[in-house]
Amino acid sequence: MVYMTRREDPYKKKPGLLTWIVRLVVLFVVVGGCLAATVLLYASWRGVASGGVRIEGGNPNLSAPERLYLQTQLALNAEALAAPAGSATVPVNFTINPGETAVSIANNLNAAGMLENPDLFITYAHFYGLDSQLEAGEFTLSPEWTIPELTLTLTKAIAREVELRFIEGWRLEEMANSLAVYEPAQIDADEFLAIAKRERPFDLSPYPFLASLPEGASLEGFLFPDTYTVPLDADAAYLIDRMLNNFDEKVTPAMRQAYGAQGLSLSEAVTLASIVQREAVLAEERPLIAGVFLNRLAQGMTLSADPTVQYAAGFDAATNSWWKVPLYVSDLEFDSPYNTYVYTGLPPGPIAAPSLSALQAVANPTPTEFIFFVADCESEIAGDHSFSVTFDEHLAKAQRCQ
């Protein structure tokens, strides 16, 4: 019997150095992954068993290696994540300024005694994608909060300011009602109305344009309708100061000079502008309507403006409005100095807050021969008016719409 010895295949290629390196790398990755998974599972088990934080979910934009690394770090610190984050013993007022990074915020929290481990805070915030959602603002932080609670809280800033919107054509009571509904900042609606009606002391000396305001007259018409952003500690006096200064800024010296050219004082101009505001739905009609009213004043006619009657009548419970619609013949006969169907000239003061365009319309009225206007029921444009020179023409147009 012949025995043949086994020999290596001379044609079989031996593994090269690069192949061995690749094999070693794969081996290390597999072993490392197993060890990391083991550590992660053990740490997660410890966290759950001890009432700690379960690490799951996270930012979907993380790469696989980064996610594994962050999960491992958080799992190893499960107990720390479940404990109070800092050493403070009382609530802390904390501010995040615009543009601050998560690292800066973490360091400031550490300095305030609210965070002992800034790195863990940053790791947690980054894993869940909250590091880009930390908001600038004011916060009151509890010393009992954990890092997860602290991080989530810092994504919901308490506003430092509040925005208020006052509609053009509102009267003082409507402004006050808006404040009563929203209760913004420290602004009391009753105090606002009392100051505006001059029923409560308020120094008007900082506002020279009010020097000619009649004795006892309210601030109706001079509280400029606009959007205001006020701090959370703003009160009624602060708001009124802002509104008066806004009026002073918007009503330019050129406009005031133009009022004088029309034979109007500032108070009279604001009064006429408030009537124009309530009469003219379309801004482009305001200069023409202002021109009509100035013609009527020049001829000693009554203005016969429905909004002045509505203002005199006050709140209408039937319609739950300060502007009663419709008006009846008996309303037009209501005896009030504000009723411009009964009394000639301008009423004693403004009836609402005129817009800038209404104030500009009185400063630059359209020259016209028109004396009358009525809502144009035949127009396709809502709020459009038809204008007339003679009363007969005006009456014919009015009858067409009845």
Pairing type for strands 161-165 and 137-141 reads: unpaired
Tens digits of per-residue pLDDT, 144-201?
A: 999 999 999 898 876 678 899 999 999 999 999 999 999 998 999 999 999 999 999 9
Structure tokens at 347: 């009423």
Of the pLDDT bands very low, low, confident and very high (cuts 50, 70, 90), residue 116 is very high
Q: Is the model's pLDDT at 44 over the cut of 60?
A: no
Q: What is the pLDDT of residue 101?
A: 94
Q: What is the pLDDT of residue 1?
A: 46
Q: What is the pLDDT of residue 13?
A: 54
Q: Is the model's pLDDT at 41 over the cut of 60?
A: no
Q: Kindly compute the dihedral angle of the four CA atoms of residues 227, 231, 233, 237, in this order, to the nearest 10 degrees.
A: -40
- List all residues 6 or more positions away from 79 whose beta carbon is below 8 Å from its beta carbon: 46, 47, 50, 52
Q: Is the model's pLDDT at 28 over the cut of 70?
A: no
> How many residues are given for the chain?
402
Q: What is the DSSP string of 325-360?
A: SS--HHHHT---TT-TTTS-S--SS-SS---HHHHH
Q: What is the pLDDT of residue 322?
A: 96
> So what's the architecture of 80-153 in CATH?
2-Layer Sandwich (3.30)
Backbone angles phi, psi at 128, to 5 degrees: -95, 5
277: three-class secondary structure by DSSP: helix
Q: What is the pLDDT of residue 384?
A: 81
- Mean pLDDT, the chain, as a whole number? 87
Which of the given ranges, 74-83, 89-98, 290-299, has the highest pLDDT on average? Answer: 290-299
Structure tokens at 64: 């696989």
Distance (Å, whole) CA 338 – CA 291? 20
Q: Domain 160-250 has what CATH class?
A: alpha beta
CB atoms within 10 A of CB 380: 6
Flag the least confident range among 6-20, 236-250, 271-285, 315-329. 6-20
Tens digits of per-residue pLDDT, 230-242?
A: 998 899 999 999 9
CB atoms within 10 A of CB 132: 11
Judge whether 80-153 and 160-250 match in fold.
yes
Flag the least confident range among 47-51, 150-154, 254-258. 47-51
Q: Where are the domains of the chain?
A: 80-153, 160-250
Q: What is the pLDDT of residue 22?
A: 63
